[in-house]
Amino acid sequence: MEISVEQSKGNVQRIMLDGRLDVPGTQSVEAKFNAAVAGSSKVVVDLGKVPFIASVGLRLLVAGAQAVSKGGGHMVLVSPDEMTRKILKTTGIDQLVKVYDDLDSALASF
């Protein structure tokens, strides 16, 4: 499980996850993910290279969104695959965290 962070234009923090957000995968990126969202007001989490997400992964995302929201900011998700999108819908998370199909529309939302 890899995590990389880059600043996109407009001061948007873009977090790219690469790998499975299952229990061990989530554990391995948890600290870096939390550090990357801390203090940011515009966060895009790119799920384009996440082939699997379980509820531990969802918790990571929700906790991140809550932290950003507390600081008065926004966190959005981008490029989830079809199954991941279904999971976000089932858990109701897609009603609380905005989900975009591609990076451009995500960036345009801020």
Helix (H) or strand (E) holding 83: helix 82-90
Of the candidate residues 5, 41, 48, 69, the single one contacting other proteins (CB under 8 A) = 69
* Distances in whole angstroms, Cα of residue 50 to Cα of each of 41, 45, 71: 23, 11, 27
Of the candidate residues 9, 10, 72, 92, the single one contacting other proteins (CB under 8 A) = 92
Collapse the DSSP code of 5 into the 3-class scheme (helix H, G, I; strand E, B; otherwise coil) and give the result. strand
Q: Which two tokens stand for residue 91?
A: 């858990």
* Distances in whole angstroms, Cα of residue 52 to Cα of each of 10, 41, 78, 81, 86: 30, 27, 15, 9, 12
Does residue 85 interact with other proteins by CB under 8 A? no
Binding segment toward other proteins, per CB under 8 A, in 5-13, 41-49, 57-65, 100-108: 57-65
Does residue 82 interact with other proteins by CB under 8 A? yes
Of the candidate residues 96, 101, 102, 108, the single one contacting other proteins (CB under 8 A) = 96
Residues that bind other proteins (CB under 8 A): 22-24, 27, 30, 51-56, 58-59, 62-63, 65-66, 69-70, 82-83, 86-87, 90-93, 96-97
